[in-house]
Amino acid sequence: MAATTFDVGLLNNDFKSKKKEDLLDNKENLWSSILAQVQNSSNNKLPTNKNVLVLGDNESGKTTLIAKLQGVEDPKKGSGLEYAYIDVRDEYRDDQTRLSVWVLDGEPGHSNLLKFALNADRFPNTLVMLVSAMTTPWAILDQLQFWSRILGDHIDKLASEHDSFKQVWQECRTQITKKWQDYTEPGDDLDPGSPLRRTSRNLDDESVDNLPLPEGVLTTNLGLDVVVVITKTDYMTTLEKQHDYRDEHFDFMQQWIRKFCLQYGAGLFYTSVKEDKNCDLLYKYLTHRIYSLPFRTPALVVEKDAVLIPAGWDNIKKISILHENLQSMKPEDYYRDVIIQPTTNRKNVTRRTEIQAEDEQVFLARQQETLMGLKDPSRSPSTRNQASTGPIIQVASPNKKLDPKATGEGVLANFFNSLLHKKTGFPSNPSSPGSPGLSPIKSGNYALI
């Protein structure tokens, strides 16, 4: 009986132990499930370490453009290296984050500050905007090339200083190439009959990476997402009215800018903050490239002041369509030979002319002759009329004594009398009757009596 009781107790203990183990397993499974959900949720959240680096000359509209993307009406321009942020919201996942923005001053001397905005750690999470303004169309290409060289030199310096960066840089370059090759028109993913869709469906990722890039594309692969932004396109109207720009000039400029974008694998946006053109689309495109949010706007090339070309859409053949409108110029002409900087208006130029001072003795002799002509009645009236219309001053002879009680005319006559006794002119006679008992006091080239 005791044995039977022992067996039942043992079974009860086994049952309780098994129940505890099941509960523990359920708790562990529950916690694992919760942790997995949290992890998946965190993976779906927008990252907080993304950056935009803005490069361009002064007066190119960098600060105003960023303020527009922020929704700020009164932009505050700083100096050196400015920092700002743009609030980004994902409506589909009800999530938001802040996109850091670094704006470098347009003075080339501040390029050493790039190390604070773009270092080895931030490099994989940075997009670059190259900004130039339509107010100086003759300088657009030079400015884009200049700042791209500054950026390339900085990246080369990072590669030379950090050995680990070289591998990261190569991975980023591969990713940029893949992004270009993976581009499809916004409607292609919905149309299973699209040729591009059929082609991409039949190729795996590895074979896509091995496809050669089109002509002129990513010949300079920086490993960074690049967006070229041409600001102040509302100024095109002024260029047409005041500088005789025609559509072929704008087409010539556009084809050169698009070739530059192909070289760096960049997207292209023509914007106007004043007229609010393409600013919202630029914001959506940035969030698309940085956070992979949807962007379903196709390329826009019809309106010359609102061009929009996503990276991956363009090629040399599409650019050649612009060549049909070039009548007085050739596509391969040097940019500055066609888009010439206008000369400054001559009316606004103040010329500085050098005034040659007249010799002192010649001036005094001429004044003395004029005064003697006024005194001498034998002079013709015409000669007198050429003299000053001021009060007539009577000048005494060098050897004539002046009345000390004379009025103001006598004082002036005394002054001119002293001028007549200069060394290089008339001889002075200290013992003349006009100055008894006085020795001459020399000053400069004159002897004052």
Report phi then psi at 5, rounded to 5.
Answer: -60, -40
pLDDT at position 339, please? Answer: 96
Please give the Cα distance from 420 to 402 (Å, whole number).
14
Give 37's contacts (C-beta < 8 A, 6+ positions apart).
none
SS (H, E, C) 381-437: HHHHHCCCCCCCCCCCCCCCCCCCCCCHHHHHHHHHHHHHCECCCCCCCCCCCCCCC
pLDDT at position 22, please? Answer: 61
- Among 138, 308, 297, 136, smallest CA distance to 232 is for 136
By CB atoms closer than 10 A (0-12, 13-18, 19+), residue 437 is exposed
Tokens at 79, concatenated: 């100096």
- Which residue type is seen at 343? T
User: What CATH superfamily is the domain 44-188+204-342?
Assistant: P-loop containing nucleotide triphosphate hydrolases (3.40.50.300)
- How are beta strands 126-133 and 225-231 bridged, if at all? parallel
**Residue labelled with tokens 């002129």:** 216
Tokens at 82, concatenated: 């400015």
Asked whether the CA dihedral 363, 366, 371, 374 is positive or negative, the reply is negative
Is the pTM here over 0.85, yes or no? no
Break the chain into its structural domains and give their ranges.
44-188+204-342, 360-448
Report phi then psi at 165, rounded to 5.
Answer: -70, -30
> Cβ(98)–Cβ(48) under 8 Å?
yes
Tokens at 61, concatenated: 């509209």
Helices 62-70, 279-291: crossing angle, 10 deg rounding? 80
Report phi then psi at 98, rounded to 5.
Answer: -120, 130
Please report, in tens digits, the pLDDT of each residue of the chain (449 residues total).
444 444 545 445 555 565 556 655 666 677 666 666 655 555 568 999 999 999 999 999 999 999 999 998 888 777 899 999 999 998 888 899 999 999 999 999 999 999 999 999 999 999 999 999 999 999 999 999 999 999 999 999 999 999 899 999 999 999 999 999 999 988 655 444 444 443 333 444 444 556 789 999 999 999 999 999 999 999 999 999 999 999 999 999 999 999 999 999 999 999 999 999 999 999 999 999 999 999 999 999 999 999 999 999 999 999 999 999 999 999 999 999 999 998 865 444 454 556 777 888 888 888 888 887 765 555 554 444 444 444 444 444 444 444 544 455 666 777 777 776 654 444 444 444 444 444 444 444 444 43
Asked whether the CA dihedral 241, 273, 337, 312 is positive or negative, the reply is negative
- Partnered with residue 132 across adjacent β-strands are 230
pLDDT at position 40, please? Answer: 55
